[in-house]
Amino acid sequence: EVTVNYRHGLPVITLTLPTRSERCRFTVKPMVTTVGAFLQDVQREDKGIEKAEVFATDGSKVSDATLMEVLLMSDFKLVINNTGYSVSPPPKDKLSSEHATEMEDIKSLIHRLFVALHLEDHQIRKERELLQKLDHLKEELLPLEQMKARITDSADAKTSRLLWVGLALMSTQGGALAWLTWWVYSWDIMEPVTYFITYGSAMAFYAYFVLTKQDYIYPDAKDRQFLHYFYGKSKNQHFNVERYNKLKEDLAEAEESLRRLRQPLHLRLPIQEIDDKD
């Protein structure tokens, strides 16, 4: 009751409409029409069709996105209103190798023309999506940036105060040693004291290396103390550092994608693809 014939190179599927009890022909374009589109055409022709599906010979359902060209390569089963029809498409004449090559070239040319005609629309739609994503990320980052700025200023102020306190203590120590050396005691008495003070400082620097696995370099020590104050303040004010870093990474990726999207086409394509288009 369901037959498939080829006319002018296009498959023609003839079936009997269940409600109207009359034969109807459906000409499909195998490289464009999908199974879902074909079934919609059948249901549109006969309003009494409530359900239409296509199954393979092993009983598995064929997806609506499958092209008719793939479906017509083998036998299948058409189910209309719980009534099944076995369909056996006729074997299609094999093309010669030269004709097949020409057909592949035509398909490739059509694909390139389609891409060229719809590239601008796709680019505009993609750019609009990226701009919306950027606006959303910036809205989420704005309060976090303000909170981070306040925490950074506080941590930087504490780190600077600590450095000045260290300078003041070293100056006080130097003045006390000078006063004890020249006004209270002599150098012979103070020399062992300064030796042990120097040795104690060396032990303190070695203990810093043991704990941090880093040399005591002033810029690195300052940055380490700054991070200590920063994370402590962030925890007190419930500032989510991981979420902030994730949003910053997403923002950078979106900006990079938008920058590449706005580049000329020949700058975005690989060299081999440019050669193929040429």
Total of domains in the chain: 2
Domain of 178?
123-267
In a domain, 221, yes or no: yes
Task: Clarify whether residues 77 and 174 are in a common domain.
Answer: no
Q: In Å, how far from its chain's centre is CA 210?
A: 41
Residues 201 and 174: their CA atoms lie apart, in Å, by 14
- Say how far apart CA 267 and CA 263 lie, in whole Å: 6
**Looking at residue 266, what is its pLDDT?**
45
3-class secondary structure, 262: coil
Q: Would you say residue 15 lies in a domain? A: yes
The residue ranges of the chain whose pLDDT is under 50 are 94-96, 265-278
What pLDDT sits at residue 271?
43
User: Quick count: other Cβ atoms within 10 Å of Cβ 255?
Assistant: 14
Asked whether residue 28 falls in the same domain as residue 131, the answer is no
Say whether both 23 and 130 belong to one domain. Answer: no
The domain boundary residue, chosen from 36, 59, 87: 87
Which pLDDT score, from 0 to 100, does residue 193 have?
82
Same domain, 162 and 259: yes
Taking the C-alpha atoms of residue 67 and residue 33, their distance in angstroms, rounded to an integer, is 6
The pLDDT of residue 265: 47
Q: What angle do CA 132, 134, 136 make, to 5 degrees?
A: 70
Q: Has residue 37 been placed in a domain?
A: yes
Tens-place pLDDT, residues 166-199:
778 888 888 887 888 888 887 877 888 888 888 8
If asked whether residues 133 and 235 sit together in one domain, one would say: yes
Res 113: pLDDT: 64
pLDDT in the model for residue 274: 41
Output the CA–CA distances (angstroms, integers) from residue 91 to 2, 8, 38, 62, in the order listed.
16, 15, 20, 20
Show the tokens assigned to 8.
């002018």
Same domain, 77 and 163: no
Q: Is residue 22 part of a domain?
A: yes
Does 118 map to a domain?
no
103 lies in some domain: no
Q: Is residue 68 part of a domain?
A: yes
| 80 domain residue, yes or no | yes
